[in-house]
Amino acid sequence: MKAIQTIPHSGKRIAGACVVAVGTVSSLLSTGAFAIDKPRFDYQGAAALCQPSSPIHEANLRSRPLGLSNSGTKTAFVTCALQGSDPTGQRGAYQVQVNVGNNDIVSKIMTCTLVVVFRKPGETVDRTVYSPRSASVPAGSGGFISWVPTDLTGTTGGPEISKSGVSCGLPKKTTLQYTGNYYREDVGT
């Protein structure tokens, strides 16, 4: 068994150091210096979250366990409402993404449009911004289309994407697999 070595000390110095340490920690906690921001990713399967944009497209769309597929011969349009939160710093997305699949033997161009509703500080009317994106998806493969707040610079008045939805045109033999929001959640100190 090892002997425990004791070191002589001054009780006044330790008490003073403890007061300084407690004061510093309290100050940092009150200013949020120790706030923890945890990255999160919410995704939803398109079969549950998305729907045909009109009855004309409904006949060609099939809900599958891993997506919403176009089994028709023409492009079918779907809309998806995304979850999020309005106040800055409260689950607004720092990236919005849709994952798509191509079940055909030729590559396809997939096009989706992010639709964002916002109100700039001091305004009383909501604005709507449309941000289209396309991706080439190889035959028998998958890919994604994504947006970040800087894609909407000067239009949303904020560092996050909130109150958003997506509209996608699905060419024949393609699937919208899922949609997702990357966001940061304040999990405390």
Long-range CB pairs of 152-156 (<8 Å, 24+ gap) are 152/116, 155/116, 155/118, 155/127, 155/129, 156/116, 156/118, 156/129
Is 166 contained in some domain?
yes
> What confidence category does residue 90 fall into, taking pLDDT thresholds of 50, 70 and 90?
low
Is 127 contained in some domain?
yes
- Please state the rounded mean pLDDT for residues 147-171: 79
% of the chain exceeding 90 in pLDDT: 34
- State pTM to two decimals: 0.73
State the pLDDT at residue 133. Answer: 94
State the pLDDT at residue 66. Answer: 85
Domains: count for the chain: 1
State the pLDDT at residue 97. Answer: 93
CA–CA distances in Å: residue 87 to residues 21, 84, 92, 129, 138: 35, 10, 7, 18, 38
Is 29 contained in some domain?
no
CATH number for position 76: 2.60.120
Cα(131)–Cα(27) distance, integer angstroms: 43
% of the chain exceeding 70 in pLDDT: 71
Is 15 contained in some domain?
no
State the pLDDT at residue 123. Answer: 74
> What confidence category does residue 104 fall into, taking pLDDT thresholds of 50, 70 and 90?
very high
Kindly report, residue by residue over 42-84, the tens digit of the pLDDT: 788 888 888 989 888 888 999 988 899 999 999 999 999 877 6
Is 163 contained in some domain?
yes
- Which has more confidence, 24 or 125? 125
Which range of residues forms the domain containing residue 151?
37-186
State the pLDDT at residue 85. Answer: 53
Is 26 contained in some domain?
no
